[in-house]
Structure 1
Amino acid sequence: MASSTVTPPRPDRPPKPNLAFRQLRGQRSPAEFAALVRRAAREIGERVSCDARYIGRVEAGEIRCPNYAYERVFLHMFPGRTLTDLGFAPRASVRGRGSRAADDAPCVHTASPAHTIGEPRRTGETHGAYEPYDTQNTQDPYDTHHNHEESDVLRRAFMTGGGATVAAASLGPLGLAPHASAAERRVRHAGASEAAALEEAVRRIRLLDDRHGADGLYRRAAAPLRAAYALLDAGTTRQTTADRLHSGAGELAISVGWLAHDSGRFDDARSHYAEALATARMAGDRALEAHAFCNTAFLARDAGRPREAVRAAQAAQRVARPLGSARLMSLLALREAGGWAGLADRAGCEQSLARAHAFYERGASDADAEWMSFYGEAELAGLEAQCWSTLGDWRRAARHAGRAADLQDPHFTRNIALYTAELADDLARGGRPDEAAVAGMRVLDLLDQVQSSRIQGMLAGTARVLLPHRRAGGVHEFLERHASAPRKA
């Protein structure tokens, strides 16, 4: 493993020792504590090459703020604490420093081993344990392509396809071809391999969202979207490839829109969904159009526009009917039900729910789209719970939310957190504060793995409802832990 050649701190700015972190180490040796860090990383799917020297540099204050991989590990090890509690400087204060003179430039790393495409380049693997956000490196992690597993996944998805010229054009927005010559950046026609890479990128984004939620992924997913539309502009010689590229770009726009939606950026989400809808109509792609309308309906409901939600869901059903997917029609009926619930139209909601169940009972088929893999019995129950909650039927909502959480495949960590947050809120509003607190604690346990503004917002609402019951033991513990939990920056 390559190690880092680290420029020593400037003598006129000596580092301030991190006494808080030293106290957390306790009686363990630096090597023993580093082993604990590595084990904690494995528990949450991270991989950091932490050793005694890294711990020493943290305690000496040479690393003012850890990179994001180490941040996730440290916050997992010490739940309820922030980076500041751990003795680190606020990330913004490190990121915001101005440019330096040449003698104060970021450290230069030694050459890394060759990286094989398809193998993840994780933080700490190729640059040793000392990654960005030490005292010598101030690059914004959102603007670098090698700091995060998510960025690597997106990068590899595109790198699997095509020749160098298209790769240079499509990867440019990710900063992955900064040294390409002008000739290399000239784009030839896109081919089947580029279409396949685009489809794989969509799958990878959805996989990451299922596991970790949207926050932190949205900004990094926007660059591949720009690359996708650059491929469309490049053109292709075959209609089948052109159709795949249009479909892939539209699906990617929907995926990026969903990341914006789930992280509370409703205007951005609306724009991305509209882009997908336009792409679908230009290509005459009914399946993509139905998907775009489906997500538009969901967004309209969440944004407080229930009538628009109903109309978008109905439009989706008109488009989707010839596709032959009963499961898609079921999901779209649920989207319509959510809109009727927002309009306080109980009869309309119940009729749509009945259609959703009837379509669902027809079973899966080959006509079901790949993106619908999330839609199973758990999601059906979860969306129905949201309808009853909107209508104020807390008991029925809690029953369906609890069933959704119990039925959900463990792979969908974000959805388990979402359904459990829905359950906690329904229990709290239904006058069952102790049970609500228990469910809320389960959500807090999952927030180490899931980053979703939607779920955080739901939990905050539950906490407000439980405040009058704060003297109860379980409720008090939940409120205390919720108040101390790290918040999204």
Structure 2
Amino acid sequence: MEPARNEALEAWMREHGYSSNSLAEAVNTTLASLTGKHGGLDGSSVRDWKAGRVRWPKSATRAALEQLTGLPAADLGFVPRGQTSQPPVPPQEDPMKRRLFVSGVTSAALTAASPASSAPRSIGMSDIERLQQRFADVVASDHRHGGQLGIEQKASALADAALALQESGNATQRVRSYLYGCAAAFRSSAMWAAIDGRRFDEAIQHMREAQALAEMAGDGAIKFRIWSHAGAMYRHMGRPTQALAANNVARQLHINRRDPMFASLGLARQMAILGAAGDHTAARRAYDEAQGAMDRADPDEYRPVWLNAFYDQAELDSLALSAYMSLRDYEKAEYHAYRCLSGLRSHMRRSKAITTARLARSQLEQGASESATRTAMSVSIDAATQHPRVALMLRDFGVRINDIVPGSTAADTWTEYAQATWGTTLA
């Protein structure tokens, strides 16, 4: 008799955009944070779960799954030994319910924080842990999709939910500091989603709220994130002087001296800003210093989930790519693009699309129009149509190829492809 498929797990994976390989990688990473040892799961392990061949994973794996998903293993369709049936598969979410999610986040938090009893509720670390898991979900969603208004709204609502907990009961000063830190983290994610979506007025508003919350939390890591995001925001707005000033605030925080990985990220973003400012020598020096700091960093040092989720050698090369594109040094830009793509983790879908679009442009500017066109056409349609930064890059590519090689086979191929794919030349 064939084992029953784990339809609940399959439904959760579809909802959250996981393949078998990417879920295995995410569980391995979570295992490392829980146990200090990276897991050995691969795509075949997850396929065994989905097919029902493994009905009750090992305890450490279950703990990692539960932390990653925020759900008990039984709700994910796993069946404890000794039981014979799975729980019913949760119904697919109605689109209207999805639209109502954001507005319901804060009210749900308030409801949970307002028991029928008149006795004040005690707020503890379990509340913090639940918020931190939601923050991990927001970070993961950002790296998969990026720049979406829904991500910005969800992060904003969760920041409000964290603040609502402050008013809902009794807590120690330590717990209250953590709550402010959670609210600042969510608000900084809303800020980044707005930056990535080119909604700069909203990003500035999120930045100001996040800065105030981070001060109340006294959290150096989240202060770094906010000011570092501010530097990136001003760079994207074409204001390099303000970008350097904001990034310098991040780089002067004590956490840079405590952990070279923070210092490396600050220097890497400084490099991208210096590239935008046209300072080739300073940008190259910043890259060397960023690489040196990364090489000195202890890989076993505890770091926040948002930093672990994206900053590595691939991201350093991505920022170098950005710098050299600004400096019109397209040969070095192409070199760093290939290095970045070879090291990108599977969940970094937004970064892959951005890097590929920049690679296409660097090839085009070096005269390799046919290779550039093939590269540009390899950008996923979802990213090209739904991510504002990627769409802008491809529109610029369409304009530039018709400037450089008008009427060529490459230009005609791109125009036909863009018209057939998006109903526009993106020019």
Q: TM-score, normalised by structure 2?
A: 0.71
- Tell me which of 387, 397, 400 is aligned to 1:462: 397
- Tell me which of 351, 363, 379 is aligned to 2:285: 351
- Amino acid in structure 2 at the alignment position of 1:376: D
Aligned to 1:307: 241
Aligned to 2:265: 331
Report the alpha carbon displacement of residue 42 of structure 1 after superposing the two structures with TM. 9.9
Aligned to 2:142: 209
**2:387 pairs with 1:431:** no
Aligned-pair identity (%): 25
| Change beyond 3 A, Cα 1:337–1:42 | closer
Q: CA–CA distance in 2 between the matches of 1:277 and 1:485?
A: 42
Report the alpha carbon displacement of residue 480 of structure 1 after superposing the two structures with TM. 2.3
Aligned to 1:285: 219
Task: Specify every segment of 5 or more residues in structure 2 that has no aligned partner in the other structure, as ranges.
Answer: 1-10, 20-69, 78-88
- C-alpha contact (below 8 Å) 2:195/2:233 kept by paired residues: yes
Aligned to 2:377: 441
Q: Say which SS state the counterpart of residue 410 (structure 1) adopts.
A: coil
- Amino acid in structure 2 at the alignment position of 1:462: F
| Change beyond 3 A, Cα 1:269–1:484 | farther
Q: Deviations over 1:436-466 (max 9, x none)?
A: 1111111135638x84211111111111111
- Tell me which of 388, 395, 406 is aligned to 2:342: 406
Report the alpha carbon displacement of residue 298 of structure 1 after superposing the two structures with TM. 0.8
Aligned to 1:370: 305
- C-alpha contact (below 8 Å) 2:115/2:121 kept by paired residues: no
- C-alpha contact (below 8 Å) 2:261/2:293 kept by paired residues: yes
Let me know the Cα RMSD of the aligned residues. 3.5
- C-alpha contact (below 8 Å) 2:260/2:293 kept by paired residues: yes
Q: Say which SS state the counterpart of residue 344 (structure 1) adopts.
A: coil
Q: CA–CA distance in 1 between the matches of 2:119 and 2:370?
A: 63
Aligned to 1:24: none
Q: Deviations over 1:161-196 (max 9, x none)?
A: xxxxxx855267xxxx9xx99958997353222211
Aligned to 1:193: 126
- C-alpha contact (below 8 Å) 1:309/1:335 kept by paired residues: no
- C-alpha contact (below 8 Å) 1:276/1:292 kept by paired residues: yes
Matches of residues 127-138 of structure 1 in structure 2 within 5 Å? 131=94
Larger of the two Rg values belongs to structure? 1
Report the alpha carbon displacement of residue 273 of structure 1 after superposing the two structures with TM. 2.1
Report the alpha carbon displacement of residue 300 of structure 1 after superposing the two structures with TM. 0.9
Matches of residues 138-217 of structure 1 in structure 2 within 5 Å? 143-145=99-101, 170=109, 188-215=121-148, 216-217=150-151
Q: CA–CA distance in 2 between the matches of 1:343 and 1:256?
A: 27
Report the alpha carbon displacement of residue 310 of structure 1 after superposing the two structures with TM. 0.8
| Change beyond 3 A, Cα 1:283–1:220 | closer
Q: CA–CA distance in 2 between the matches of 1:227 and 1:332?
A: 30
Report the alpha carbon displacement of residue 360 of structure 1 after superposing the two structures with TM. 1.3
| Change beyond 3 A, Cα 1:312–1:367 | farther
Q: Deviations over 1:58-103 (max 9, x none)?
A: xxxxxxxxxxxxxxxxxxxxxxxxxxxxxxxxxxxxxxxxxxxxxx
| Change beyond 3 A, Cα 1:322–1:344 | closer
Q: CA–CA distance in 2 between the matches of 1:243 and 1:256?
A: 20
The structure with the greater share of residues assigned to helix is 2
Matches of residues 16-31 of structure 1 in structure 2 within 5 Å? none
Q: Say which SS state the counterpart of residue 139 (structure 2) adopts.
A: helix
Report the alpha carbon displacement of residue 332 of structure 1 after superposing the two structures with TM. 0.3
- C-alpha contact (below 8 Å) 1:274/1:292 kept by paired residues: no
Q: CA–CA distance in 1 between the matches of 2:124 and 2:361?
A: 49
| Change beyond 3 A, Cα 1:378–1:230 | same
Aligned to 1:419: 355
| Change beyond 3 A, Cα 1:471–1:328 | same
Q: Would you identify which runs of 4 or more consecutive aligned residues in structure 1 move more than 6 Å?
A: 41-44, 184-187
Q: Say which SS state the counterpart of residue 366 (structure 1) adopts.
A: coil
Report the alpha carbon displacement of residue 45 of structure 1 after superposing the two structures with TM. 5.6
- Tell me which of 229, 238, 247 is aligned to 2:181: 247
- C-alpha contact (below 8 Å) 1:317/1:332 kept by paired residues: yes
Report the alpha carbon displacement of residue 411 of structure 1 after superposing the two structures with TM. 2.0
Report the alpha carbon displacement of residue 276 of structure 1 after superposing the two structures with TM. 1.7
Q: TM-score, normalised by structure 1?
A: 0.63
